[in-house]
Structure 1
Amino acid sequence: MLVSETLGFIAALCTTLSFLPQVIKVLKTRDTKALSLSMYIVFVFGVSLWLVYGILKSDLPITIANSFTLLFACIILFVKVQNRKQDKLS
């Protein structure tokens, strides 16, 4: 069990950290024009379901990874929604 949980934590770390560069860029530049609003809406919904799944299964790697991924994706989605009018004008 230890090997599979360690593998889960490594995978979770990789997939979660992959969002950081995008979050940092969006927060620094506020530029979301090239990002798909519908993709982020669906993605946030899917990650929310993965988080609930991880909680229900008491799976720590899934729960932790999806908690952070959900936070990162929600930050990007929030800025995207804020920029929606600006994106349409450009």
Structure 2
Amino acid sequence: MNSTEIIGFTAAILTTAAFLPQVYKTWKTRDVSSLSLPMLLLFFVGIVAWLIYGFLKDSPSMILANSITVVSAFLLIYFKITYGKK
């Protein structure tokens, strides 16, 4: 593994880890009032694009981080739609 991928994995771990507490808090509290659906949708599309880019660049760090973040963003979108109707 070269130094570029080490930096990539470090960034991947930090940025992905920073997003997970929001997913957990939303799941536990079911409070989606502060989440913007348009922002979540734009973010989701952007992360999917980064994931595709990671595959095209053959970058394990980008693939790992964006795979996890795609799932997390999808969950927040699901929570926003499901819990926002109450």
TM range (shorter): over 0.9
The residue number in structure 1 matching 2:70 is 70
The residue number in structure 1 matching 2:36 is 36
* Aligned positions of 1:8-47 closer than 5 A: 8-47=8-47
Deviation readout 1:14-73 (Å, 9 max, x if unpaired): 000011110110110111011100000000000001001101111111111000011111
Tell me how far 1:85 sits from its aligned partner: 2.5
Aligned counterparts of 1:46 and 1:20: Cα–Cα separation in 2 = 17
Over the matched positions of the two proteins, sequence identity in percent amounts to 43
TM-score (norm 1): 0.90
Residue correspondences, number: 86
Structure 2: which 5+ runs fail to align?
Answer: none
Aligned counterparts of 1:84 and 1:24: Cα–Cα separation in 2 = 16
**RMSD in angstroms over aligned alpha carbons?**
1.1
Runs of 4+ with >6 A deviation: none
